């Protein structure tokens, strides 16, 4: 089932994971601007509403508190963006989104999930490591930053055969 569909799953009480829709974009863009120094544009988000992408929303009631965007390429899921509203960080929404997208990728018979994370983003790096991702390489000057560019860690999680 694609992330843009109305699939819903209740996790840990009040948090709902469902497909992100185009109606969610104003709130997603607000979270994106709060969470990233170099946020995605609306056009970039809209370009992800395609068959080989999965877009997930974490909601508390009707309030979107986080989202994830995953591209499926052959047998690999590539986590492109996972962001949680700063007011909701540290409460498990990011971990639940991550676990959900991993579960869906495994269910859809992906072999692995890969991602890039800024070298300076220790919080995300710790989350991914605890959830089983391993660093498999680096992408030099992958991310823009105030002083030029910043390297990315490339991380992967293999699914059991």
Which is catalytic among the residues 116, 125, 134, 143? Answer: 116
* DSSP calls for 44-100: HHHHT-STTEEEEEEEETTEEEEEEEEEEETTEEEEEEEEE-GGGTTTTHHHHHHHH
Which is catalytic among the residues 67, 72, 128, 143? Answer: 128
116 is annotated as an active-site residue: yes
Q: Is 81 annotated as a binding residue?
A: no
How many Cα atoms occupy the beta-carbon half-sphere of 60 within 13 Å?
12
Which residues are known binding-site members?
Answer: 121
Catalytic positions: 116, 128
Which residues are known binding-site members for acetyl-CoA?
Answer: 121
């Amino acid at each position: 089932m694609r992330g843009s569909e109305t699939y819903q799953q209740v996790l840990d009480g009040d948090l709902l994971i469902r497909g992100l829709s185009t109606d969610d974009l104003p709130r997603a863009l607000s979270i994106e601007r709060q969470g990233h120094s170099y946020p995605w544009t609306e056009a970039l988000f809209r370009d992800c509403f395609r068959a080989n992408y999965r877009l997930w929303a974490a909601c508390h009631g009707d309030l979107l508190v986080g989202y994830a965007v995953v591209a499926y390429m052959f047998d690999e899921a590539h986590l492109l963006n996972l962001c949680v509203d700063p007011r909701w960080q540290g409460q498990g929404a990011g971990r639940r989104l991550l676990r959900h997208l991993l579960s869906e990728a495994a269910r859809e018979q992906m072999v692995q999930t890969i991602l890039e994370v800024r070298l300076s983003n220790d919080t995300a790096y710790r989350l991914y490591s605890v959830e089983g991702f391993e660093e498999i390489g680096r992408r030099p000057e992958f991310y823009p930053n105030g002083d030029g560019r910043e390297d990315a860690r490339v991380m992967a999680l293999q699914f059991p055969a």
